[in-house]
Structures are given as C-alpha cells and as structure tokens.
Chains A and B, each alone.
Chain A
Amino acid sequence: MNARNRELLGLVPASLLIVAGFGAVFLQERTQLDNLSLTYGAIFLGLCFAAHLIIRVRLPDADPYLLPIVAVLTSIGLVVIYRLNETLARDQAQWFVIGLIAFAATIILLRDYRVLERYRYLIAAASIVLLLLPRIPGIGQQANGAYLGISLGPVSFQPAEFAKIGIIIFLASYLRDTRALLVSRKRFGITLPRLKHIGPLLLVWGLAMLMLVFIRDLGSSLMFFGGFLAMLYVATDRLIFPVVGFGLFGIGAWFFASTVGHVGDRVSAWQHPFDPKLYEQIGGSYQIAQSLFAQADGGVWGQGFGQALVSVGDSPILPAAQTDLIYAVIVNELGLIGGIALLLVYVLLIERGFRVAVLARDSFSKLLATGLTTVVALQVFVIVGGVTKVIPLTGVTLPFVSYGGSSIVANFVILALLLLISDRARREARR
C-alpha cells in the first residue's frame, strides 16, 4: 500500500472516534441518540478527506501518519469542547475549517519552503513585533496577569502562537549558516565561540527573558527557549550549549520569579496549592487545586464521558476548563487510562516529527523539523505539566485539543510545514 492510501485508512479511526464521542455526549445530554452525531462525524471526515486530497496532489511522498494523528487529537478536542459548551464547539469547528484553509494555503504557496530562508530577518523581526503586540495599549489583553492575547475588532488572537513558528524558521536558517562557526573555536579545552557568532543566540536568550518581563508568562518562554536549545544542540552537537542555556534560563526565571509579582504568585501557588491564603487569593492556587481534585475524581477508569463536574448552575468549578484545564477534564472523564492514551498519541506525533527531521537531507530542513516538533512537544509538556503540578501552571493551549482559534490555525501551519519537509525528504531518500 502506498503512503497516501495508508494515510486515508488512518483517518478511519479518527472518524469513528468523533462519531462515538459525539454519540456519547448526545446520550448524556439528550437521553436519545439522533443522527446529528453521524452528521458531525461525516462533516469531520469530509474535511479530513479534503486535507488528504491536497496532500495526495501536492505532497505525494509526505509522511502518511501525521495527518491521521492530528485528526485524532482534533476530534478528541472537538468532542470534549462540545461536551463542555456547544457554542464553543461550533466556534472551534469553524476555527478547524480556517486551520485547514491555512494548512492548504501553506502547502500550495510554499511549494519550496526553503524560500523562507531568504526572508529570515524579516520573519524574525515580524515575530518579535507579534510577541510584543499584546503589550500595546488598546489592543493588548491581559489574562491572569499574562499578556498573551490581542483583540482587533471582533477577532482576538494570540500572536505568540504564530511568533513561535517565525522564530523557529529564523533559528533554523541562522543556525544552518553558523553551526560550523559556533564549534570552530576552542579555548581551555571547551567550545567557546566568538561573540559575533554567539551574539544572535544571546539575543534569543534575551528575548526569552524579555518575554518573561513583558508577556509575564513562564510557560511560553520555557517553550520558546527549550525549542531554541534543542535546535542549538542539534546544530552543534555540543552538550555545553543546552547546559549553559538552561543554567542561564534558570537564573533568569529565578530572578523574575522573585521580582515580578505575577510570576512569583504562580510559583508559590505551584508549591503550596492547598495553602488557604493562596487558595482564596484571586489568581492564586484555586485553579491548580481544582485541577488536582478533578483528576483525583477520575481515578483509573474515569467517571465516564460527559460526567465531569465543570460547573454548578452558572458558577464554574474548573476555571478555563476548555483551554488550560482541558487535560484535567479528560482525566476526570476518561481517567488515568484516557490521560495516558492522549499522551501516547502526542508521543506518536512527536516521533513522526523527529522521523521527518532524521530523514531530511539538508541542515535547514533538519533544524526546522526538530524545532517545530520540539516546540509542540514542549507546549504539551508545559500545559499538561502545569495541570498535573510538575511545573507552575501557565496558560498555553494543548495543541490541537484546547479551545482557541490562533492555536488551531498555528498548529495546522506547523503540520503543513512538517509535511512539506517530509515530502521532500522522502522523495530524495527514494532516489
């Protein structure tokens, strides 16, 4: 069977999942099943099929598993959001369609993605502007102390979701050029590059720190910086870079946690979620404590689909259930089994992403695939880790699953880029 037919077959489980999921939610809400769940399933299958056709025509050699894996994640997200709030699910479905349009546009317009290298400084500058937009008075929005969103008229979006792609493209291109220079000079037995070569990288570190100060979001900066270090390590194969990098990041994070009130609050809420004072405090530990309580109620097998207690009457119990805490909702309803299964789907996605990086022939493609995959993986780690109290909780989305238009659209662009890289790599490998 060729790659494209395998991909088509792979979409079947995702479609079954969404039909079963909607069916379960219907049973819960309406006592009897109507064929609307089948309709939703059919529409979803149709959209996935459209995406599949685009890949079949434009990228015949691309990795056959990436799209089905993403389809599974998206369907889980749609079903859980639908179960939480019908209106939000409709929005999310629209964003899913827009995401697919962005996906198609990326594939069609970027026939050869390597043209991106030409515009790397423009892309970098645009990304930094995007990152700083939320701090501009009038359009910037603050949520829980972090500046992540902007609103333009009726549309509000999170520019950081797009900035992360731009910065990865810039870094992949920059590191491709300088990787040899970075390791060429040795002093006292260790790799010590010249300042003019390391300068732009220090700039990235500074940018991550700036994000801590300006956006005030520990999670996003950890994600960016972690992605950057992974790329730096892959480019140079020198452990010293990530070690020093994490050291610097740690010092910076510690400094800001002890000086910027909002970051410090997040850290103490993480350390002492049940402290009565922090629990009562607005923006305190209530959310993380509720997340843990919800997971505890899930147990091994979960309380069953549609059973999660999200609100009583009009008052919410799980704040931001459809975005930050969606993993807690999934664990509550589907239990430890459901949570682990979801993590495994992400592991499969990441494995495919790194496979693309390994197969790619040129350094730029390798670095780009590594960066994109690492950032998606770290985003999962930052939000699931926050919800499960591995690290302080910050508000990033669970890729493809959480409610949020910018996140869905940006992640579909990442998917498109990975498929573009994989198509070229596999075609070249075949020759």
Chain B
Amino acid sequence: MNKPIIRVFVVLLVLFGLLAYFTTRWTVIDRAALQDNPQNKRELLAQQRIARGSIVADTGTVLARSVRRGDGTYARRYPENGLFAQTVGYSFLNPGTAGLERFYNGQLTGRTAGFEGTLRKLQGKRQQGNDLQTALDPQAQQIALDQLAGRAGAVVALDPSSGRVKVMASIPSYDPNVLRSAKQTARLNSAPGAPLLNRTTAGLYPPGSTFKVVTAAAAIDSGLYEPTSTVNGDNGVEISGVPLNNDGGQSFGEVDLTTALTQSVNTVWAQVGERVGKRRISRYMERFGFGSPVPVDLPADERLASGLYCSPDGNRELVSPTDSCVDIGRASIGQDKLLATPLQMAMVASAVANRGILMRPGIATRTIDPEGRTAYENKPQRFSRVMSAASAEKLTAMMQRVVEEGTGTAAALSGIEVAGKTGTAEIDVINNIAQPWFIAFAPASDPQVAIAVTIEKTVGGFGGTDAAPIAKAVMESLLR
C-alpha cells in the first residue's frame, strides 16, 4: 500500500506547486497589471489614511488641503472652490485623481522611501505628504475667469523667462468639492460643455492668424525673408489651386511683412508659407512644441498635441506637416487641418518673448516636506531654441505694431509696450461662427508675461475685439 500513498503525496505536491506558481503570478508576473487595474482602489484607499500635502498658489493661497475625519482618514477640500479647478484637479476615492493632484501624487502622499521612511515608521509617525508650491496667481486667474464671463474658452499666461504658469483658466468650470458625491460626479461627467476638460491643454482649436507668428518666425529665421520683404497682398491669390480671401475681401497690393502681420493679410502669409515650404515649417513647428503632447506637469491623458490632423479613414490623427494631405499655404495662416491647444499658443508667444528660447512650461515650482525642507524642485528647463535672438527681436517689433496700430489695439496697455497677434479662425463661414484668439507678451523690451486667450465658437467674433481685451486685463493684473 505504500506505493500509492507516495503517489498521492506526489499529486498533492504538484497541486502545491500550482499554488506556488499562482502566488508568483499575482505577486510578480501580473503585479503591474493588477496594480494598474482601474478597479484596484487600494492605492487610493491607502492614501485616505495619509495627511496629503497642500497645494499652494504663489501668494500662499491654499488651493487644496486635507482635513482629518472622525475615523482617522483624511478628506480633500478645495478652499478656493473652482478657481483652478481643472489645473489643480481632484483627489477622491471616487472618481479618483486628476490634474496636479494626480501628476504629483507621489509627492503629495509623501512616499518617503528608504531609510528616512523606515525611521519615520519606527518613530511611530504617520506617513505625511509634501506640500506642493505652484507659481499660479489667484488674482490674475480670477480676472481671467471674470473676463471670459461664462463663455467657453481658455486663458493661459506664463513667465517667458522661466516657463512658470501663472494663469490657467478653462470655462466651463466646476467646483471640485462637489465630486465627493457620486451623483454630482456623474452629472459633471455628462454635463454639456465638458466642464472637467482642461481646455488649456486638452482643447484643440484652429489657431487662425495667431499661427502667422510661427510662419513669420520660420520665414525670417531661415533667412528667406526680412520684415521689410514685400509680397503681393491682393485678395483671391490662388493657394493650392483655390483662391484665398483676405478679411473683408480687401486687397493690399505689394506689402512688406510687418504690414502684412499688422493687418493680418492672409494671402501674403499663405504665399510665404508655401515658399518657406513644408519641411522648414515642420522644423519650426517642432521647435515651438507642435507635434507632441504639450509639455507641462499635468497627467498625460490631460494633454494633447497641437499640429496637423488629417482624417484619411475617418479617424482624426496627427500627421507631419509634410504629409500630402496638408495644404501648407492654408496651414500657414492657421486654417486647414491645423489645431492647437491654448497652452501651445502661449508657448509660441513665450518663445518670441524670451529672445527665441522656449522654456518648458511648469505649474509647480517645488515640494516641501513636513520638516520644511525642499523635497523636489521643478527647475526651469529650456525646451528648445526656436530661433536666433535677432530673429526674435525682429518678430517682436512686428508684433508690437499689431497692438500699436493693427488688429490688436484693444490689448494696448498705457505706458507698457505690448507685442501681440490676433486670430479669428473660421469655424463655420455660412453661420459666421469663428474662434477668436489673441496671443501676446509684455513689456516688449523685457517680457514678464506671455499669454494666449481663445473663446470657443463665437458668432461674428473677432480676435481683436473679443480675445484681446481679456489678454489686456490679465496682463495688467500680472504686471501690477
């Protein structure tokens, strides 16, 4: 009888081997997949027991903080309600995390690894999060929101020399405090106008004439043109075989590029774009940041890439400007298949302002541990050199003319030189629906702020009359 007993033992050993294998599978092989499973709330639940760090604006205004509840867990509160809703994001068990709350989750929960973490545990201290310091300016943000006055749109302002983001306003907005309730979350998820969407980084709009700044940068920096070079600005010049109209059907005759930018002459810039060519335009667009998700410290799924979107098989997809589906003349005036996020257009203004050097935009400046030491520093980083300092200076002078005597006079500030560019992208010509834009920086001689403003689908709207006044008010606040 002993042989079968040993065989039964062997069968049981095999079964135990199976148990060991499956334990290995869940703890090692499939570990990452299980931890990323959206149904896995362990991480979030564990974080409920951690005093999460605060998120603070540049002036010290608290944008997000944790309050202790009776059962020893912590809940998130947003004292400024919807002021920086989409940027700060939220952190709740349901619906999870978004915005800075998500991007800096590791810092905010203070996952202190290694020796220090062990020491804290031995001392019996609770895990405590690091505070997040940002460069955000609540006063200017409030002005941006007030100025948008309920119209769907976005305002982004940054410091061109460091890339620090000062204003990031997106309308429609919401109060993150209500997301504590599942019902309100469901309502917001399906609300018209998508209030949860951060339009500054994930809203894609045709940039219209503001894109002429990119075309001009390529034209001048490549040495093909000077601000004084003249081009025929008559109405109805054929671009890709189809006549192109100027605003109001106006013909300008032979005009220099400065005038062409000041008066936003479509036909001139379309011809310039065609001559500069797809490859050069493509290179400059890349340097400005087009073609890849806008580089800012927000979660990847809240950032979109600006660039040319073609739909060869019905699905909109990002293509290179050199793709055969692109009408480079019309793309050069910000129409055709070109789409951009407001932050991307603020980066365009910022690169010109910072003498051709584009700084990577950054919302957070640093994190501070519970002992008051800097735990992490988000140092200003150069994104690229877009153009020479000389080209940037020439472009600045041209953009100043836009505000002094051109389409952007509504953005003029008394005593401060402003450089800017208007845009009015055609959305629906028949119903006269357009997307007004304005990008600018100031003071022109020593830029402190670069800005982009856009308003969604406005009937009869103009960049110069609808977007420029908003930019003016926000810049005024930031330069005070």
Contact = CB atoms under 8 A, between A and B. Distances in A.
A255 interface: no
23 contacts: A233-B8, A237-B3, A292-B26, A293-B35, A293-B37, A297-B42, A299-B27, A309-B46, A312-B45, A313-B72, A331-B23, A336-B24, A339-B23, A346-B16, A351-B9, A354-B5, A354-B6, A357-B5, A377-B12, A381-B12, A381-B19, A385-B22, A389-B22
Contacts of A358: 2, 5-6
A42 interface: no
A336 to B, nearest CB: 4
Contact of B19 (A235, A237, A370, A384): A384
A390 B24 contact: no
B12 A374 contact: yes
Interface of B: 1-9, 12-13, 15-16, 18-20, 22-28, 30-31, 34-35, 37, 39-42, 45-46, 48-49, 69, 71-73, 122-124
Contacts of A292: 26, 34
Contacts of B49: 312
B45 A237 contact: no
B23 A237 contact: no
Given A293-B34, A317-B42, A350-B9, A299 B28 contact: yes
Interface of A: 27, 30-32, 230, 233-235, 237, 274, 276, 279, 289, 292-300, 309, 312-314, 317, 331, 335-336, 339-340, 343, 346-347, 350-351, 354, 357-358, 363, 366, 370, 374, 377-378, 380-381, 384-385, 388-390
A233 B4 contact: yes
A314 B72 CA distance: 10
Contacts of B15: 377, 381, 385
B120 to A, nearest CB: 11
B317 to A, nearest CB: 29
A309 B46 CA distance: 7
Given A296-B35, A385-B19, A309 B6 contact: no
Contacts of B18: 385, 390
Given A293-B42, A354-B5, A388-B26, 11 more contacts: A234-B8, A289-B39, A295-B27, A295-B34, A299-B28, A335-B27, A340-B23, A343-B16, A343-B19, A343-B23, A384-B23
B45 A296 contact: no
Contact of B8 (A230, A297, A343, A389): A230
Contacts of B45: 309, 312, 317
A380 B42 CA distance: 26
Contact of A295 (B1, B2, B26): B26
Report the 9 A-B pairs with minimum CB-CB distance, sorted nearest first. A31-B124, A313-B71, A296-B34, A388-B22, A295-B26, A336-B27, A234-B4, A339-B23, A354-B9
A356 to B, nearest CB: 10
A291 to B, nearest CB: 9
Contacts of B41: 317
Nearest to A363: B1
Contacts of A377: 12, 15-16
B16 A381 contact: yes
Contacts of A289: 39
A366 B1 CA distance: 8
A237 B13 contact: no
Contacts of B20: 339-340, 343
Which has the most chain A C-beta neighbours within 10 Å: B2, B4, B6?
Answer: B4
Contacts of A309: 42, 45-46
A31 B16 CA distance: 38
Contacts of B23: 295, 331, 336, 339-340, 343, 384, 388
Nearest to B15: A381
A346 B13 CA distance: 10
A300 B8 contact: no
Contacts of A336: 23-24, 27-28
Which has the most chain A C-beta neighbours within 10 Å: B8, B13, B40?
Answer: B8
Nearest to A351: B9
Contacts, number: 130
Contact of B5 (A276, A294, A366): A366
B26 A296 contact: yes
Contacts of A317: 41-42, 45
Which has the most chain B C-beta neighbours within 10 Å: A312, A336, A389, A390?
Answer: A312
Contact of B16 (A237, A276, A300, A347): A347
A363 B2 CA distance: 10
Nearest to B48: A312
A295 B22 CA distance: 10
B22 A390 contact: yes
A358 B20 CA distance: 26
Given A296-B30, A297-B42, A351-B9, A313 B22 contact: no
A123 B8 CA distance: 25
Nearest to B125: A31
A336 B20 CA distance: 8
Contacts of B27: 295-296, 298-300, 331, 335-336, 339
Nearest to B73: A313
A357 B24 CA distance: 32
Nearest to B9: A354
A374 B15 CA distance: 12
A374 B23 CA distance: 22
Contacts of A274: 37, 39
Nearest to B8: A230
Contacts of A235: 1
A293 B5 contact: no
Contacts of A389: 22, 26
Given A237-B3, A343-B19, A370 B8 contact: yes
Which has the most chain A C-beta neighbours within 10 Å: B7, B16, B25, B30?
Answer: B16
Nearest to B25: A388
Nearest to A230: B8
A230 B5 CA distance: 8
A231 B122 CA distance: 52
B414 to A, nearest CB: 57
Contacts of A295: 23, 26-27, 34
A390 B19 contact: yes
A148 to B, nearest CB: 22
Given A233-B8, A293-B34, A312-B73, A347 B13 contact: yes
A279 B5 contact: no
Contacts of A296: 26-27, 30-31, 34-35, 40
B31 A299 contact: yes
A90 B73 CA distance: 27
Contacts of B28: 299-300, 336
B63 to A, nearest CB: 25
A385 to B, nearest CB: 6
Nearest to A296: B34
A234 B23 CA distance: 30
B34 to A, nearest CB: 4
Nearest to B43: A297
Contacts of A343: 16, 19-20, 23
B43 to A, nearest CB: 8
Nearest to A381: B15
B443 to A, nearest CB: 53
Contact of A234 (B1, B25, B40, B72): B1
